Structure 1
Amino acid sequence: MSNQMPNVARRVGVITVRVLVYILLWAGLVLLFAGIGIRVFFGKISVGQMLLNLVSVQTDGGGGPLVWIGILLIVVLPLLVIAGIAFWHRSRLRKRRAGGGRTRNSLWIRRSISGVLVAAVVVSGTTAFSSTVGLADYIKAGNSNYDVDDYYVEPTITSDQDKRNLVLIYLESGEATLADDQLFEKDAFAPLEKATQAADGWQSVDEFQQYEGGGWTMAGISSTQCGVPLKGTGSVLGSGNLNELGSDVGSYLGGLTCLGDVLDKHGYNSTFLGGANGNFAAKDTFLEGHGYSTVKGLSDWRAAGDPAKSFRSDWGLSDKRLLEHARDEIDQLHAQSEKTGQPFNLSMLTLDTHEPAHIYDYCDVDTQEVVTSMFFCSMTQVAGFVDYMKEKGYLEDTAVVIMGDHLKHMGGGDAFHKQLDNNDNRTIFNRIWIPGEDKKSALRPRVDQLNMYPTLLEAAGLKVQNHEAGLGVSAFSPTVPDDSAQALEPGDYKELLNSRSARFYAKAWAGSNPAQ
């Protein structure tokens, strides 16, 4: 018995070490494949984007194949590799025993090499993943002395006597850089530029910026409608509101007063139209929780009987059909508004320009790079809707704001790396129409998406105290208050936007007003 005890202990120790080695190897492979996958499909992202967006990808109208690719990369492939190594190792043991074993020196060398390889996989995986999601920046942000709470301004409406209808169009990946026909085969925005010319009274924010830390659809929508960076890390994890974020959350930044909330308080009827699944990234929860009475998405268009050729399997309804529905919607909303005196807000989000490229039968590809034609065709549809509003006379009493939801994604498999990777002047496309206004006054240039919140309120004809809402100051104001976040030095402003601001977001996600 005494002789057996050391052998048993040794065997338990060997098994324990092997299990730990396999666990480390599995973790390293998961991190490595996740890092590679994110780089290929999304490019470099943030921890916040990962938590708030990637977890919400859905098989139907919300990324489609990405779900299965993610499962294969992060779940199946690492397990297959581990199983293969375990099988190989077991075969080697059997051969060694059959051949009389090896010397201690050869065993030590083999185990040393195996240990180095496992360590290399773990280090490589950790490095690849952390650099892809900006883990170092995330840790640094936790030590920042800045807090959004110190600069957040609850919007105060001093008058709504001049309120007007509002049409808000988000262009998927609507980066203005693609209008440069010196960089690209042709100006991808030409049709929309023709429909929104400055000579006709359209305005734009020169060099409109994506906010620091943004870069995905819900970040673009929430930042322009709530005036703060979209964050869910830390505070949300602690509050329980990140429960399967993207599908079934009770509220989405419920403590904040956003565009739809303000418009609802002042009698607006708000409607949102999108081609994708409304559940994707909890978009419907955000909109319905912030003043939108009607939110239509993929399931609605299917129920309406749209033909199969109008859908792309990975995301949803084509822009052509979406904007045809938008014509019917604005006809009804405008007629109702004239009858009741109640203004409306019609918001929508295009879809065609989301990569990978999908070309519908109404789009003629006349460029070597298919994505350029894809953008051109989408802008043609949006331009057609603008022309329709003009023909119907809606522009006489309706403000229109058109803007990209974010810069174009630059995943490893996406187009235009040569033109955009080292381009230091990437901006977001935007056009603004204000009926009956003097169009000679220029909008404040180089504002970011957070400033669009008060800009939208003022576009709707509401008077905003000090032109401030959230962290933003309306682009219609040539100056900013001295105590505004917009008055900070660029480096300090960047640190503020990157800060976790756990106290502020804990309140916002829990449904408590951070300003109180």
Structure 2
Amino acid sequence: MPLPQLPSLLRHPRWWALLAIGLCLGYAVVTISLLPAWALTVIAGAWLGTGWLLRWGAPRAPRPAARVWPWSLLPLALWGLYVYLNDSFGIVDLGAIFFHLQAGMSDHGGSDRLVAAVLYSLSMLALLAAFTWLVRTDHRWRLGERLLALVLLASNPLLYGMTQRGAAIVTDDGAWLDRRYVAPVIEQAPSDPPNLLLLYLESIERTYADRERFGDAYADLDALGERGRVFEGVRQLDNTGWTMAGMIASQCGTPLMPAGLLHDRQFSPLDKVVPGVDCLGDLLSEQGYRLSYLGGASTAFAGKGLFYEGHGFDTVLGREELAPRLEDPDYVNNWGLHDDSLYDFTVEEIRRLEAEHDGPWGVVNLTIAGHAPNGYPAQSCIDRQGEFDGVDILYSVECSAWLARDLVERLEAEGLLENTLVVVASDHLTMRVSVWDLLIAGERDNTFMLLGPGIEAGTRTRREASMVDLFPTLLEAMGFTIDEHRAGLGVSLLADTETLVERHGLAGINTRMREENALQQRLWEGLVPDRPQESEEKESSPTDDQVVESPYDATGETPASVQ
């Protein structure tokens, strides 16, 4: 078969259509499989070569073109959505999608992702137009295109997750987690309860501590950890892998199961966030604590303000409240305040609490420097570390670690951390970043360390745990006595009691979570239909060590998933 001359090739719509499809196919494969970028051209070239050999768009025995709309247009668009989400976040979390749709996304700072969304949309339009031309022109594609539509639907992980969750709604047992939930109650408080400073470092997981893979990016947190107790092995359960979910898991002892999956107001705006459970703020407020939350991003995004205002916090400060107080109003990033500015306001807030309140205080702080995909390093870090290339996430990790250590040292120098428990934790594992292939090469765990009175310095504890275990651990580290070292689904890592992950494994719990309805209803009590009477009766069952629901639980085997 003679090769066509280049000018005639460029004039034929066939080659433009095949090129558009080939480039989109190559990009999708490279994005999902983590192949190097140059593989895109190889895949696109192989597609064009196959099209030339099989004469796609120009069959030897052509039939009249048919003005039909391919069945595969919607499946292709859904695959495009999945590739966009995978490229943006690394792991597509349906729970996060549902929750953010309902809790609010209008005040997010991801303008760079908006640009990416526009480019993705234009690419998808080109792909759909090219595919429609090919189907209308080449009868062979028309004959097999319906089968292709079914294959695209069946293979899309996004639809697989939705189908799996839909099957869970009709499962025989949707209360496995709920029966293990222990309502948090403080049975006894210390005579002199400590203050609490809880620092969430956006996406700064403990995995970065591996110096063979990531150098000294985590070194300042390692140094901080030597002064306190470091916990290793804090894994990420499903429905705890984004900021609000991580904070709720660590403060309420439960994964964040979105309200929109059950009740008939599925995408109406929330006016409360997990109103059915008591969380850290509720308990501390009852003990006389004055509580403040500070974050650089908007408190309207993802329901952060609703959560803290509804769970015992007196002061909730985000971008809207803090940005007007900046000396330089232009010193902000896409999300809001840089972390050095946020920490300055954090110091001011602690000074205020110390001066105005005789009782204990608690401050929760959420940073932004480590946010995927590239981070938002503060100017003070650039002055210290040199120019930022805009891509290297390890630069941002180093920035976040140094700023956290610097904040603790500043507060100590002012005497503001006397009788104060300092907690440093990641809110969740990071999403897709420049070292993604190195991060997913081995096991990953979250940052969690304690510093302060009664905490033995230089101690490392390795437990198979999850973020829900932080809640009871914080309460016991502060000197509070709780029922059997439990709160929510969590177990204090300062006790010898088995965690859920140690007993059932991460995969086993995640499988059960996909079947769970009762815990979801508990979280959103008042916003979803009342739980069935049967579930209410099971609610009063004995604690985890005494509960045996099925042969799976009796033997310790991983439960079968819903078919």
Match of 1:287 among 276, 297, 308: 308
Match of 1:267 in 2: 288
Corresponding residue pairs, total: 458
Q: Is the 8 A contact 2:135 2:141 kept in 1?
A: no
SS in 2 for 1:454: helix
Q: State how far apart, in whole Å, the 2-side matches of 1:348 and 1:354 are.
A: 15
Q: What does 1:209-248 align with in structure 2 at a 5 Å threshold? A: 209-232=235-258, 236-240=260-264, 242-244=266-268, 248=269
Aligned in 2, Cα 1:207/1:324: closer, same or farther, shift over 3 Å? same
Q: State how far apart, in whole Å, the 2-side matches of 1:119 and 1:31 are.
A: 16
Q: CA deviation at 1:308?
A: 4.4
Q: Is the 8 A contact 1:241 1:510 kept in 2?
A: no
Q: Is the 8 A contact 2:245 2:256 kept in 1?
A: yes
Q: Is the 8 A contact 2:106 2:301 kept in 1?
A: no
Aligned in 2, Cα 1:66/1:42: closer, same or farther, shift over 3 Å? same
Residue ranges of structure 1 left out of the alignment (5+ in a row): 1-16, 93-109
Match of 2:184 among 138, 144, 155: 155
Q: CA deviation at 1:29?
A: 2.5
Match of 2:356 among 287, 312, 336: 336
Q: CA deviation at 1:77?
A: 5.3
- How big is each residue's C-alpha offset from its partner over 1:138-162, in whole Å with a ceiling of 9 and x where there is no partner? 4565547452211100012111234
The amino acid that maps onto 1:508 is L
Aligned in 2, Cα 1:253/1:383: closer, same or farther, shift over 3 Å? same
Q: CA deviation at 1:469?
A: 0.4
Aligned in 2, Cα 1:471/1:175: closer, same or farther, shift over 3 Å? same
Match of 1:105 in 2: none
SS in 2 for 1:53: helix
Q: What does 1:136-155 align with in structure 2 at a 5 Å threshold? A: 138=165, 141-142=168-169, 143=171, 145=173, 147-155=176-184
Q: What does 1:344-493 align with in structure 2 at a 5 Å threshold? A: 344-357=361-374, 358-362=376-380, 363=382, 364-365=385-386, 370-410=392-432, 414-423=433-442, 425-436=443-454, 443=461, 445-480=463-498, 485=500, 488-490=503-505, 493=508
SS in 1 for 2:156: helix
Q: Is the 8 A contact 1:471 1:486 kept in 2?
A: no
Aligned in 2, Cα 1:445/1:316: closer, same or farther, shift over 3 Å? same
Q: State how far apart, in whole Å, the 1-side matches of 2:445 and 2:132 are.
A: 51
Q: State how far apart, in whole Å, the 1-side matches of 2:117 and 2:514 are.
A: 29
Match of 2:73 in 1: 26
The amino acid that maps onto 1:238 is L
Match of 2:347 in 1: 327
The amino acid that maps onto 2:273 is Y
Q: State how far apart, in whole Å, the 2-side matches of 1:361 and 1:495 are.
A: 40
Q: State how far apart, in whole Å, the 2-side matches of 1:55 and 1:372 are.
A: 33
Q: Is the 8 A contact 1:213 1:229 kept in 2?
A: yes
Match of 1:190 in 2: 219
Q: Is the 8 A contact 1:467 1:477 kept in 2?
A: yes
Looking at both structures, which has the greater relative contact order when contacts are Cα pairs under 8 Å and sequence separation is at least 6?
1
Aligned in 2, Cα 1:138/1:422: closer, same or farther, shift over 3 Å? farther
Match of 2:51 in 1: none
Aligned in 2, Cα 1:497/1:469: closer, same or farther, shift over 3 Å? farther
Match of 1:100 in 2: none
The amino acid that maps onto 2:144 is V
The amino acid that maps onto 1:395 is L
Q: What does 1:34-53 align with in structure 2 at a 5 Å threshold? A: 34-53=81-100
Q: State how far apart, in whole Å, the 1-side matches of 2:511 and 2:75 are.
A: 33
1:251 corresponds to 2:272: yes
Q: CA deviation at 1:265?
A: 1.5
Q: Is the 8 A contact 1:241 1:249 kept in 2?
A: no
Q: Is the 8 A contact 1:205 1:446 kept in 2?
A: no
The amino acid that maps onto 1:419 is L
TM-score, L = length of structure 2: 0.73
Q: State how far apart, in whole Å, the 2-side matches of 1:279 and 1:187 are.
A: 35
SS in 2 for 1:167: strand
Q: State how far apart, in whole Å, the 1-side matches of 2:153 and 2:253 are.
A: 36
CA RMSD of aligned residues (A): 3.2
Match of 1:299 in 2: 320
The amino acid that maps onto 2:427 is D
Q: State how far apart, in whole Å, the 1-side matches of 2:280 and 2:324 are.
A: 29
SS in 2 for 1:183: helix
Aligned in 2, Cα 1:304/1:289: closer, same or farther, shift over 3 Å? same
The amino acid that maps onto 2:314 is S
- How big is each residue's C-alpha offset from its partner over 1:255-278, in whole Å with a ceiling of 9 and x where there is no partner? 011111111111111111111111
Q: What does 1:48-197 align with in structure 2 at a 5 Å threshold? A: 48-53=95-100, 58=105, 60-67=107-114, 69-70=116-117, 73=120, 78=124, 82=128, 110-117=138-145, 119-120=147-148, 123-124=151-152, 127-130=155-158, 134-135=161-162, 138=165, 141-142=168-169, 143=171, 145=173, 147-162=176-191, 163-184=193-214, 186-194=215-223, 196-197=224-225
